Amino acid sequence: MSLHPSLRRAGGKGGASRNVLKRYERLHQLMSRGLWTEGRSIFGLPKIKQERVKVKKAAAKEAVAAEQPAGTTPEAAPPAS
């Protein structure tokens, strides 16, 4: 039996856009935030808000420019002869 086209995701299977975390993923995030105490029950975990970060085009260009070493921009390159 096939999946109805309205229920399909644009990127194929891709699990990157899930809004529900599995228990081990929630535990990992709680540990990284320092909210998990050792010996606590794994049942009844608090909900964790998923924050989606949108990168503006100008910010993306600045990030790419920051990754390049100084003097390697096309303007600073010597002219080809």
pLDDT digits (tens, 9 = 90+) for 28-40: 999 999 988 889 9
Residues 6+ apart with CB under 8 A from 42: 23, 27
**60, pLDDT greater than 70:** no
Does the model's pTM come out above 0.75? no
CA dist 12 and 35 (Å) reads 34
The pLDDT tens digits of the residues spanning 35-54 come to 888 899 989 888 888 777 77
CA dist 23 and 41 (Å) reads 12
